Amino acid sequence: MTAEVAVAALIMTGLGVGGYYALSYQPTYETAPRSTTASTTLNLTGLAALLAAPAIAGRFVCSIGRRSADYEGSCGYSIAFAYLGTLAAGIAFEATFRKQPPNCYDCAIPGPSAAAVLISYIAGVTTGAVVGWNLTKRRKDDLAALEPIFRAGPPPEALANWTDPTLGTSAALRIQVPLIAFAF
């Protein structure tokens, strides 16, 4: 589970931070128009990165989980819960949008806190992807796993009276071949 959290957090940090700043980029030159072809392309690329990041993180969490020797599952819930985790960013956005500190009437915050939105986005999607995988994973078929048999056959009292069933042709020439073996 540690690998799942680490990989999802790294993916979300890279795509989330890069996508957020690409989405919010605007040229600052006074002579350049506020929106250019390059800035619009960068903004759309940032939006695409922010929208694709939960699917990528969920898929990576699922692929790490599928490599387990004990568990298997599908990636649908991991990806769905990753997208559900984006609600944390929406909550942080709403909580920090245009809020004024107490006793400060001239210092309105013009927009949401970028740090709060990014941290909640990264944490929400990472947590969602890992929780989605862990809720839906299932143990691999026990019949496929070869486990040692420590106690097989009749109880120890019955072993004292046990004789192997044998095949033989006559009493004079007897070849014994065990038909059943309880231990190897």
Q: Is the pTM of this model over 0.75?
A: no
Determine the pLDDT at residue 84.
Answer: 93
Q: Are 118 and 92 in contact (CB under 8 A)?
A: no
Whole-angstrom distance, CA of residue 42 vs CA of residue 59: 25
What CA–CA distance (Å, rounded) separates 123 from 152? 50
Per-residue confidence (pLDDT) for residue 1, from 0 to 100: 67
Q: What is the pLDDT of residue 83?
A: 93
Please tell me the distance from the alpha carbon of residue 181 to that of residue 172, in angstroms, as a whole number: 25
Structure tokens at 19: 């996508």
Percentage of the chain modeled with pLDDT above 90: 6
Q: Of 25-29, 35-39, 123-127, 175-179, where does mean pLDDT reach its minimum?
A: 175-179
DSSP bridge partners of 72: 138
